[in-house]
Amino acid sequence: MQNKTSTRRPWITGALAACLGLMGLAGQTWAQSNYPNKPIRMVVPFAPGGVTDTSGRLIAEQLSKRLGQQVIVDNKPGASGNIGTQMVVSAEPDGYTLVLGFDGTMVINPHVFAKMPFDTVRDLAPVGKIGDAVLILVSNPSVPAKTLREVLDLSKKQSGGLSYGTSGTGGTPHIAGELLKIRTGANLVHVPYKGGGQALIDVIGGNIPLVYTAIAGAVQHVKSGKIHPVAVSSLQRSRALPDVPTFIEAGLSDFDVSSWVGIMAPAKTPRAIIERLNTELNAVLADPDVRERLNQLGIAATPGSAEKFGDEIRRDLARYGPVVKAAGIKAE
């Protein structure tokens, strides 16, 4: 005869497992609804002081006020942003470790580096886009070509072409310059610097004819007349330099290349937490004072959903791959 106790054991074990599962689910739900209940770390995978870092600190400061918990900026530079980003990929997906995502790291590095320590789409969850950093093509005033068309024509006529400086190999300005070459057949020769600031110094000094750079560092020099603005490669004119035409207005249809920045979290971060962070980020970006402070950095605020940001990431990954391959760009 079968022991009654033994027949009841599977039922008791199953019931206990179900009970524990429900308790775990309840615990997760409580943790998400109570989020955040401690400080949040936002990793900036670059050194302090640049436009990306400055914009991240501004957003962290404002999010801290809205979330009721401090958002602490933690600079972890190295490997064009790969080192700091990998740290976030490996972190617990609980909403307490975020990364300031930069397009150079997220959608260009995967094509430039032979080995990547993470997969942007698989390993990270988009939270929300902060904005677009407008890029501008500038020249030394002595260059006889002033309009975009004149610059492109001069590059084809001049022996050896025209050199253009950027902040470095594989950065968004470099990609934009290579895309410009592909689209127009211009004879533009890339000269990489270790930062946009040094490239601007050389174009002002006449050591190089052109520089493709973020508009933030160029504004004061354009206004002082030290460099000539050719065009901005954003969809719309920059509020910082409203008299400078876009590449599209200058005759190059559908040429829209900006450098974006946004916030991302480890994959598998609960949806409720992503939505909370996205809601608060959009509220921050709707603040006129924040928008103006971002404009001063050359960044146009672009509030939107996490899904929209994710779509842009996947689109840029697909768009920049062929450009990198055609130009033969590889990480130094």
Which DSSP string do the residues of 47-100 spell out, in sequence order?
-TTSHHHHHHHHHHHHHHHHHSS-EEEEE---GGGHHHHHHHHTS-SSSSEEEE
Residue among 236, 244, 198 at smallest CA distance from 217: 198
Eight-class DSSP state of 267? T
Which of 168, 166, 190 is CA-nearest to residue 80?
A: 168
Are the beta carbons of 8 and 38 closer than 8 angstroms?
no
Q: How far apart are CA 35 and CA 97, in angstroms?
A: 13
Cα distance between residue 254 and residue 264, in whole Å: 28
Q: What is the mean pLDDT of residues 114-125?
A: 97
Question: What would the mean pLDDT of 56-70 be, rounded to a whole number?
Answer: 97
Neighbours of 11 (CB within 10 A): 9
Q: Say if strands 259-266 and 124-133 run parallel, antiparallel, or are unpaired.
A: antiparallel
Query: Which tokens sit at 232?
Result: 């901005």
Segment 299-316 mean pLDDT: 96
Please state the rounded mean pLDDT for residues 293-307: 93
Domain residue spans in the chain? 38-132+258-327, 135-232
* Residue, of 96 and 258, whose pLDDT is higher: 96
Mean pLDDT of all residues in the chain?
91
Q: What is the largest CA-CA distance in the chain?
A: 103
d(CA 109, CA 184) in angstroms, rounded, equals 25
**Does the pLDDT of residue 322 top 90, yes or no?**
yes
Among left, alpha and beta (phi > 0; psi -120 to 50; other), residue 298 is left
Look up the CATH architecture of domain 135-232: 3-Layer(aba) Sandwich (3.40)
Q: Which of 20-29, 159-168, 185-194 has the lowest mean pLDDT?
A: 20-29
**Fold held by 38-132+258-327:** D-Maltodextrin-Binding Protein; domain 2 (3.40.190)
Out of 24-28, 153-157, 260-264, 300-304, pick the least confident. Answer: 24-28
Section 209-238 average pLDDT: 94
- Rounded percentage of the chain residues whose pLDDT exceeds 90: 77
pLDDT at 239: 87
Amino acid at 17: A
Contact 45, 85 (CB under 8 A): yes
The pair of structure tokens assigned to 136 is 């501008």
The yes-or-no answer to whether 38-132+258-327 and 135-232 have a common fold is yes
Q: Specify the pLDDT at position 5.
A: 52
Burial class (CB in 10 A: 0-12, 13-18, 19+), 31: middle
Could you tell me which of 73, 76, 88 has the C-alpha nearest to residue 120? 88
* DSSP H or E run through 156: helix 148-157
